[in-house]
Amino acid sequence: MLKNIIIILFVLLSTTVQAADCRYRPKPSKGNPHPELSPQGKCGEIIGQDEFRIDPKHLKNLSFKSDLAEVFVGDKVFYVSKSGKAARTHLFDGGADYFEEGLARTISSGKFGYMDEKLAVVIKPEYDFAFPFENGVAVVCNGCRPVSEGEHHLLTGGKWGAIDRSGAVVIPLTFSREELRESVEYKTLKKKKERGKSIK
């Protein structure tokens, strides 16, 4: 019994809630018809590592594009829907990850997965890195890590493979990055891409 109470207390204490200083692009106004990304003060709460809850007052002030807005909290970026639903995504090209073939990358507990434009997770976050989908296939890796090279990061190490849009593994994660590029499986996928055929 005491052990269960200790576990519950640990879980409650480890799920921290912190006020979040945000940056986002506010909706246009008469005085500011073309707003830029700018600091907006405390606009919500970060729960744990990867959950974000926006204050309703700030939700009304967001500039939405295709029913989604980008909100930056520290070094993280979230997509926020008009209903207030939020999901952490990958910071790419200075902003939120692009939706490729209807899916964008999402991050939870340091793992990458994929979500749709309604911010529903469609492929569970279980990879150390994941690339965008292209012709129905995405390259993923586990055990890979980023290494700084100037302003950019390169991924090195780990086991690499590929998945399809259902999350099924189409190339097993058994290759190094270099081996994957040279593998028969990868070259076959590339040929199909070049022919413009979607991999199902």
**pLDDT one-digit tens code per residue, 68-101:** 999 999 999 999 999 999 999 999 989 999 999 9
Q: CA dist 183 to 134, 158, 170, 176, 179, Å?
A: 18, 16, 13, 10, 6
DSSP-assigned beta bridge partners for residue 62: 26
Domain end: 109, 126, 143, which one? 126
For the chain, how many structural domains are there in total? 2
pLDDT on residue 187: 85
pLDDT on residue 161: 98
Which secondary-structure segment (H or E) carries 40?
A: strand 38-47
pLDDT on residue 198: 47
| Residue in the structure block whose two tokens are 């207390």 | 9
Report the predicted TM-score, pTM, of the whole model to 2 decimal places.
Answer: 0.84
Task: Answer yes or no: is 73 within a domain.
Answer: yes
Residues 21, 115, single domain; the answer is yes
pLDDT on residue 175: 97
Task: Answer yes or no: is 7 within a domain.
Answer: no
Domain end: 75, 100, 126, which one? 126
Residue type, 181: R
Show the low-confidence residues of the chain (pLDDT under 50).
5-15, 198-200
Q: Which two tokens stand for residue 180?
A: 């994957």
- Parallel/antiparallel/unpaired status of strands 38-47 and 95-96: unpaired
Domain end: 126, 141, 156, which one? 126
Residues 34, 109, single domain; the answer is yes
pLDDT on residue 7: 45
